[in-house]
Copies of this chain bind each other. A is one copy, B any other.
Amino acid sequence: MKSVGHTQEAQEDIVQKASVEEERGLSIPSVCTEDGEESPGFAHPADMADHLENLTPEKRVCALRHMPKEDAAEALAELDGNLASDVLENMDADVAAQIIAEMSPDDAADVLDELDEEHRNVLLHRMEKEAFEELRNLLSFDSDSAAGVMNTEIILLERDMSADAAIRHIRQAMEDMENPYYAYVVDARDILVGVLSLRNLMLSRPGTLVSELLTGHSVISVPYDMDKGEVAKLLSHYNFLAIPVVDYEGHILGIVTYDDSMDIIHEEASADMLGMVGADPDESVDTPWLESVGKRLPWLLVNLFNSAVSASVVYMFEGSIAQMAVLAVLMPMVANQAGNTGQQALAVLIRQLANDRFDSRKSWVAVWREAKIGLVTGSAMGILAAIGSGVFTGNWKIGLVMGGALLCDMILGAIAGGSIPLIFRAMGRDPAQASSIFLTTITDGAGFFIFLGLATFFLL
């Protein structure tokens, strides 16, 4: 985030709300508040959820139990996943099942997915047969796939319907569902053949057939097993409100909507930052800490091994260091500076690879760009470091060795930082995962080797 002047509290003040009288608001029932008075109303379930997140677990369960089921369903859908499953586990199963039944199927599946299997089955078996089967079906899909995040509430039209009949059909369907973004047109075999926006329908002349409104363009859809990150990228690429999810025969199964997409985009964009340093891309402050230990240890072990490799380079020059201990003082500066240069290149390339429009032919132009940046910044830092270390040690030869090593290692760091994500991708790996760890091995090892090597050759 670039602007941080506004903390959450300040932000709430800044959001202006036109003052109109409250008619029906969401509120915390009086039996669950500290002072026994009903809480002030919230205009939106997301605000209610924020408030619930700051309550104690007991009060949170109490509030959700006592408020109208549909309000509880909306608030539960907005709660953080870990907290939502916590609430459901500590609530009477009948009440929990009633709340889940009020949620939209995709939100209900998300919440149930967080529960352990036993709890999930208890709740599922208390639901009506139709809802039970729909949810069990949704839960069978990989939660990181298009089908795992899709919404199954969609409006289907037939090709030979009139536009007026379609509008009537939509009006009726709208009473039970959230905003319909598009209506999807299917043929007799239920295969997706077209998409209409409400705009298309509202602008149609009376008597037009649905089939006449179809633009003739192909419908862009995604297969049910596409990674959710790719789906979100496509949705953002096309600026769609929703994208249809189909099976391999072309039958429509559901839609992925822009709101889920925004969450996925945020999650995946910040996942790279975590992956880069060897943390789990899904980790948050709510991840149980021992789980984090398990996820981080393997990469810390790789890092320990890698840093032992760099250390072995230093070991080769143990004799030089024994003769001239000041080399040990300057050597980490070379490695550190090149590591930082490399990380900057790394971050730029990882960001670019996360962008679906990045042409692979441009990749190596981008590495060349980093090499040029490394050359110029390396020269500047090299000159400074040469002067600084020359003055500090009173030995201009040390200064020259320091400056030269810094320049070489910074150029190498820039090229390595730019290339690592591209190489990882070419290998079919995540371009970000642990990239910083591998980069540092290169910049440390090479930095020590170049600096100590030059020093041994020229100074001793």
Contacts and interface: CB of A to CB of B under 8 A. Distances in A.
Contacts of A101: none
Contacts of A136: none
A138 B386 CA distance: 50
B285 A349 contact: yes
A215 B26 CA distance: 13
A268 B303 contact: no
A217 B351 contact: no
A428 B322 CA distance: 47
A281 interface: yes
Q: How large is the interface on A (under 10, 10 to 19, 20 to 34, 35 or more residues)?
A: 35 or more
A200 to B, nearest CB: 10
| A interface: dominant SS | helix
A3 to B, nearest CB: 4
B303 A360 contact: no
Contacts of A222: 14-16
B385 A46 contact: no
Contact of A18 (B4, B194, B277): B194
Interface string A323-357: 00111111111011100110110111111111111
Interface string A214-232: 1111111111001101100
A140 to B, nearest CB: 20
Interface in A283-324: 283-285, 289-290, 292-293, 296-297, 299-301, 303-304, 307-308, 310-312, 314-315, 318-319, 321-322
18 contacts: A1-B229, A2-B227, A2-B275, A16-B221, A18-B218, A43-B218, A44-B220, A171-B203, A174-B202, A179-B241, A262-B265, A265-B269, A272-B273, A273-B276, A292-B348, A293-B373, A301-B381, A322-B325
Given A19-B218, A270-B272, 9 more contacts: A7-B425, A24-B215, A44-B238, A266-B355, A270-B350, A301-B384, A321-B321, A328-B328, A336-B440
